[in-house]
Structure 1
Amino acid sequence: MKHTIAIIDDHILIAQALRSIISNFAQFEVLYTAENGVDFQQKLTSKPVPDVVLLDITMPIMDGFETAKWLSTTHPNVLIMALSMQDDEQSLIKMIKNGSKGYMLKNAHPLELENALNALVKNGQFFPEWAASKVFTSIREDTIDARSKLNLSDREIEFLTYTVTEMNYKEISEKMFCSPRTIENYRDSLFEKLELKSRVGLAVFALKNGYAK
C-alpha cells in the first residue's frame, strides 16, 4: 500500500512537476495539491488526510509556518516535509518548532526527494546534512534533566530558550543584557557539554527538552 501525499505550493508549475516526479516513486502517490494553507484546509473538508504533506514555506494568505503549526495541532500524525529555496537556519528552526519533521531544498534531485520521503516515513524525520542531521539522531528521544546531568547554568539555559527564536546572536545578547562575546561563550560551552556543533542542534535540544519559549 502506497503512502499518500498532499502538495501545498502556490506555484502551480512546481506543484504539478512534483506530482509528476512522485508518480514514478514506487512507495508514494499524490492525492491532491493546494495553493496555500487555507486552500489545503478547505480541501480537507472533503478529501482524505494524507500521510505526508510537502509544504512550501513562502506562500500568500497562509504560509508554510502557519500551515505547519495548524497541521501539527489538528492532525499530529501527518508527517510534514518543508520545501524551501533557502538553506537558512532560521527557517529550519522555525519549521521544526511548528511541527515539521523534514526539510528539503527545491533544487534537490528527484532521487534525493525519493530517498528523503522514504527516510521520513521510515524514521519519522528527515533533515539534510547541512542542517546537522546527525544532531537529530544523536539526541535521545526521551527528555532528560539537562540541568542536573549536564551541569547547565541558569544563564546557559536562558540562552537555550532563545536559540529557537528568530533572533541572531547580537539580538540575544541585548535581550540577555550581556556582550556578544559572552553569548559566544555560552554557545561554545553548550556545544562542548551537549556535544553539538550548530545552533540548529542547540534549538533541537531545547525543543526536545522543554527549554523552548
Structure 2
Amino acid sequence: MRQAVVSHPQEPDRDHARKVRVLVADDHTLVREGIVMVLKSAPDVEVVGEAADGEQAIAATRQLQPDVVLMDISMPGLSGLEAIRQIRRDFPHVKILALTIHESEDYIVHVLRAGVHGYVVKRAAAQELLGAIRAVMRGESYLHPSIVKVVLSDYLHRLEQGQEEPVLTEREREIVRLIAEGYKNREIANQLHISLKTVETHRANIMQKLNISDRVQLVRFAIRTGLIEP
C-alpha cells in the first residue's frame, strides 16, 4: 500500500492569500521531499500537499484545490500522463508542470499534447523550478531550454516531412498500456468490460495509426510516451 496523500496545513498569516498553492506528485520520497524543501524556501509559494502516484494526485487536486500541480510523469499505477489528462479535464483552472528526467522527442511531444502548462527537467536548478511556477501563474508557458530545442527540431522536421503525430483516443491509450503490461486480448476485454471483438478492432486500429507491426514496438511506444514504466 502506497503512502496516502500528505497535506501541509499552514499557519494563517496576512500574506497567505498571495501565495501560490502547490501540490507535489512524485513516487520517490527523497525526490519529493527535496522539491518540497525548495518550494518552502520561497516566500510566495505554499506547499499544500504531496502525492505518490497518479490516483493520489487526482484525489489531492480534488481535495486541496491547488493552483499548480508539479507532476512526475513516470509513476506506478495510473501514470502521471493519464493523471494530467484527467486533471486538465476535471479541473481546467489548475496549472500543471510536468516534472521528469525524460528529454526525448517522442516523450516530450506526448506530454505537451496531454495539456501541461510547462515542462521542467529534474536536473533543473531550484530557482528555475520556482521561476516555472511563477511563469504559469502569470498565464505563460514554461519549457526548459533543452526542451525548447527538441520541440522546435521536432516541429521543423514534421513540417519538412508533412507528418502528423498519430493521436490515440483515451480507450486506445488504455488498451496500449494493458497490452504493454502483458495482458492478452480476452483479459483486456474482461478488465474493460468490452467484447473480445472490440479489443481486436482497437488493437488493429492502434497498430495502423502507429505504423507498427508487433507487440515489441508497441511496448517501446508505451515506454517512450510514459504509459508504462521502463
From 32, 35, 38, the counterpart of 2:52: 35
What amino acid maps onto 1:26 in structure 2?
P
- Alpha-carbon shift at residue 69 of structure 1 (Å): 0.7
- 1:119 aligned onto 2:135: yes
- Alpha-carbon shift at residue 13 of structure 1 (Å): 1.2
- Alpha-carbon shift at residue 59 of structure 1 (Å): 0.4
Where does residue 87 of structure 2 map in the other structure?
71
- Alpha-carbon shift at residue 116 of structure 1 (Å): 1.6
Q: Distance in 2 between matches of 1:30 and 1:6?
A: 6
What amino acid maps onto 2:119 in structure 1?
Y
Where does residue 64 of structure 2 map in the other structure?
48
What amino acid maps onto 2:80 in structure 1?
G
Q: Distance in 2 between matches of 1:48 and 1:74?
A: 14
Using the aligned pairs only, state the percent identity: 26
Where does residue 160 of structure 1 map in the other structure?
164
Partners of 2:105 and 2:151 within 8 A in 1: no
Partners of 2:23 and 2:61 within 8 A in 1: no
Where does residue 168 of structure 1 map in the other structure?
none
Partners of 1:79 and 1:124 within 8 A in 2: no
Partners of 2:117 and 2:141 within 8 A in 1: yes
Change in Cα spacing, 1:134 to 1:27, as seen in structure 2 (3 Å) is: farther
Structure-to-structure mapping, 1:182-197, within 5 angstroms: none
Deviation per residue, 1:148-195 (Å, 9 max, x gap) = xxxx9xx83xx2244x78xxxxx99x94xxxxxxxxxxxxxxxxxxxx
Deviation per residue, 1:45-70 (Å, 9 max, x gap) = 5x321110000011001111111111
Q: Distance in 2 between matches of 1:43 and 1:118?
A: 21
SS in 1 for 2:142: coil
Where does residue 13 of structure 1 map in the other structure?
30
Change in Cα spacing, 1:128 to 1:22, as seen in structure 2 (3 Å) is: same
SS in 2 for 1:132: helix
Deviation per residue, 1:70-108 (Å, 9 max, x gap) = 111001111110011121122211111111111111111
